[in-house]
Amino acid sequence: MKIFYHYESPIGTLCLEEDDDFIVGLYLDNGAGSADSRETVLLEKTVRELSEYFSGKRTEFDIPVRASGTEFQKKVWEQLRLIPYGETRSYGDIAKAAGNPKASRAVGHANNRNPVMILIPCHRVIGADGSLVGFGGGIAVKKYLLDLELQHKA
């Protein structure tokens, strides 16, 4: 059974979803979240780590995540988790790393399907020309997250 929790962050209300001791969802809440909202040990830990991230005190997360998707999406998401804090990669870079250099558009689609934003840092993927493109939370949120990481990068 999924448990939902809403967290007021600097980028807006985030909805966290827990299922079987894994975070399975983390996204900007569009008002359609579940009314079944309660706090668990894992949700409390996730909120604490997100708060530390937003304050610039955390660069990595220690949260168990389970992201459901296709095999290619999972390969892409694993590559996203390897992008260091405060750095970016292009869609083409991720496509090559995921084993299919011609799949830049498919990488974009996988990013769009990422169920756990920030923990799987799809905001770190940019256009080949360095432009900020393709973020479900909006370009302003993507810019905020990248600027936050650049500001606090060691």
Q: Can 15 be counted among the known catalytic residues?
A: no
- Catalytic residue from among 94, 122, 125, 141: 122
**Positions of E strands within the chain:** 3-9, 12-19, 22-28, 89-90, 125-126
**Contacts with 42 (C-beta within 8 Å, 6 or more apart), sequence order:** 18, 21, 22, 23, 63, 64
Measured distance CA(108)–CA(98) in Å, rounded: 13
Give, as one character, the DSSP assignment of residue 84.
Answer: P
Residue 21 identity (one-letter amino acid): D
The H or E element that residue 33 is part of is: none
Cite the active site residues.
122
